[in-house]
């Protein structure tokens, strides 16, 4: 049986990683364009970047850190969304700026807490969230 899937969403354009005294700072940028095929029809007559895509942008930025920190077989799996709120819409032409403060938990090996604030290019807070992730180190490319 043949299945068709949409191409993966490229949810970050750039990612920067820096160690801090408290853990790691991950910053990422995603430019929202009106011709993105994922936006077509997401609210008729009012195109908006879906909140779940903001979450995916954050997740991709953290996955980038996991690969850099733990090697190419590392996968950051979202375990828990502790809190999430959306404050301002992201529209075509906006730039999503993501700031994640990551701390590896002492009480749970391979567990990471992410405190995240997302802003539009104009500085308005667009989302904030706290996530728990699990770092798995996999051998090979199993697409799981």
The pLDDT score that the predictor gives to residue 2 is 47
pLDDT, tens digit, 9 for 90 and up, residues 99-130: 999 998 777 778 999 999 999 999 999 999 99
Give the separation between CA 133 and CA 113, rounded to whole angstroms. Answer: 6
What is the gyration radius of the CA atoms in the chain, in angstroms? Answer: 16
**Residue 144 pLDDT level (bands cut at 50, 70, 90):** very low
The pLDDT score that the predictor gives to residue 6 is 54
Q: Determine contact, residues 95/30, Cβ cutoff 8 Å.
A: yes
The pLDDT score that the predictor gives to residue 142 is 45
Residue 1 has pLDDT above 50, yes or no: no
Mean of the pLDDT values across residues 9-36? 93
Helix (H) or strand (E) holding 49: none
Residue 84 has pLDDT above 90, yes or no: yes
Residues 6+ apart with CB under 8 A from 58: 28, 98, 100, 114, 116, 118, 129, 131
The pLDDT score that the predictor gives to residue 36 is 81
**Residue 139 pLDDT level (bands cut at 50, 70, 90):** low
Its CATH class, for the domain covering 14-137, is alpha beta
User: Active-site residues: which are they?
Assistant: 42
The pLDDT score that the predictor gives to residue 34 is 84
Domain residue ranges of the chain, discontinuous segments joined by +:
14-137
Give the separation between CA 121 and CA 104, rounded to whole angstroms. Answer: 29
Looking at per-residue confidence, does 127 or 9 come out higher? Answer: 127
Looking at per-residue confidence, does 2 or 54 come out higher? Answer: 54
Q: What percent of the chain has pLDDT over 70?
A: 91
């Amino acid at each position: 049986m043949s299945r068709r899937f949409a191409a993966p969403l490229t949810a970050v354009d750039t990612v920067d990683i820096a160690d801090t005294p408290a853990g790691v700072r991950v910053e990422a940028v995603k430019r929202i364009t009106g011709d993105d095929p994922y936006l077509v029809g997401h609210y008729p007559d009012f195109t908006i970047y879906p909140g779940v895509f903001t979450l995916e942008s954050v997740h991709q930025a953290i996955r980038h850190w996991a690969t850099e920190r733990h090697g190419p077989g590392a996968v950051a799996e979202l375990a828990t969304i502790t809190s999430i709120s959306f404050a301002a819409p992201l529209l075509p032409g906006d730039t999503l700026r993501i700031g994640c403060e990551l701390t590896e938990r002492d009480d749970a090996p391979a567990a990471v807490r992410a405190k995240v604030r997302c802003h539009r290019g104009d500085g308005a807070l667009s989302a904030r969230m706290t996530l728990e992730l699990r770092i798995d180190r996999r051998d090979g490319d199993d697409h799981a």
